[in-house]
Amino acid sequence: MLRPVLFALTLLTAFSPMRTAAAQTAQISDASPLGQTLKSLGRPFIIGVAGGSGSGKSTLARDLAKMLGEERVVILSTDDYFRYDGDGYNKLLAERSKQGKTDELRPEEFTDFDALASQLGKLRAGQSITKNIYDHGAHQIRRDAERVAPRPIVIVEGLHPIGIPAIKEKLDVSVFVDPSDGLRFAWKEKRDVAERHMTRDEVRVQFEKELAHHDAFVRPQRESADLLFHFDAKDASNADSLKVQLKNRLGARDVVVHDFVDGEVRPNALDRLQHSLTEKTGVHAKVSEQTSPAMAAARTQLANEIVGAIAHTARRARGH
């Protein structure tokens, strides 16, 4: 489970005794509608992004940061709140085996959600935090390795942020990333072989071991997520076969379903979505390169929906 369960916190490219994600003077105009809305909210807006291993949640979190304005955003990975390093996790499993325990590990047994909830509370209150970093390459915890200052938007991404009440209650909006298992395995295999130096057989064995935990503790979060981001493909290696659905369950609205299928995305649809988002955010940013038109359109629509959720939260905070 702990051997690379999630993407490493990809904003960090090197480790030092202490890294600092300092609050920067944004290069984005606060005169933009989003800038004004965040200022009126008076506290960070917190987004939770949950999904299984290899689902693309870290990539989505990075894309959201680009589109909303990276200078406005802090990304926290729940990986960095693991209780154990690789050796400690293996000892935990061995001890459970000696005790005859065969049930799946509960999320809180290997992740310190109390610490995450406490640090989210501090960021929400405008205070800086000092946090650990989990190094997936070495399977080690780097204690107190990063200083993080609050920014207007906080994204928490990981396996379980929607399913843990102490975290869920601090989220302003929740997103569940829900690829089919076949597509998720294909993406996980590609990532873990290239970035984590695993063999294809090792990835397959790990994926199969994780399925029970995924079904018990990860997938159920899709039912309570505000925004459900689902995708599938007849051929995982062919982006042209990718079908994407975005469901919005926010507020009292009916479920809104947007279908994006490559070959059916109208030529100007993505440009219109990006133009709409740029007008709201003041940011000229597109989603990751090599993303299919369907995925790009859906992620841009998702960012538009989140901007709408921020505006709704600010209006509610002002009492109208």
| pLDDT tens, position by position, 213-242 | 999 999 999 999 999 999 888 776 666 678
Residue 12 has pLDDT above 70, yes or no: no
On whether residue 11 sits in a domain, the answer given is no
| pLDDT tens, position by position, 89-146 | 989 989 998 999 888 899 999 999 999 999 999 999 999 999 999 998 788 999 999 9
Residue 14 has pLDDT above 60, yes or no: no
On whether residue 229 sits in a domain, the answer given is yes
On whether residue 5 sits in a domain, the answer given is no
Q: Residue 28 has what DSSP assignment? A: S
Residue with tokens 């992004």: 49
Helical (H) or strand (E) element with 156: strand 153-158
Reported pTM = 0.87
Beta bridge partners of 148: 21, 129
On whether residue 13 sits in a domain, the answer given is no
Confidence at residue 139, expressed as pLDDT on a 0 to 100 scale: 85
Alpha helix segments (H runs only) across 100-180: 107-110, 113-124, 165-168
* Rounded CA separation 181/52 (Å): 9
Number of domains in the chain: 1
On whether residue 241 sits in a domain, the answer given is yes
Confidence at residue 4, expressed as pLDDT on a 0 to 100 scale: 38
User: Region 44-50: what's the mean pLDDT?
Assistant: 98
Residue 8 has pLDDT above 80, yes or no: no
On whether residue 3 sits in a domain, the answer given is no
- CATH code, domain with 212: 3.40.50.300
CA distances from 81 to 35, 59, 92 (A): 30, 19, 16
Do residues 216 and 106 make contact, with C-beta atoms less than 8 angstroms apart? Answer: no
Q: What share of the chain is helix, strand, coil (3-state, %, to 5)?
A: 45, 20, 35
Domain carrying residue 150: 19-317
On whether residue 276 sits in a domain, the answer given is yes
Confidence at residue 293, expressed as pLDDT on a 0 to 100 scale: 84
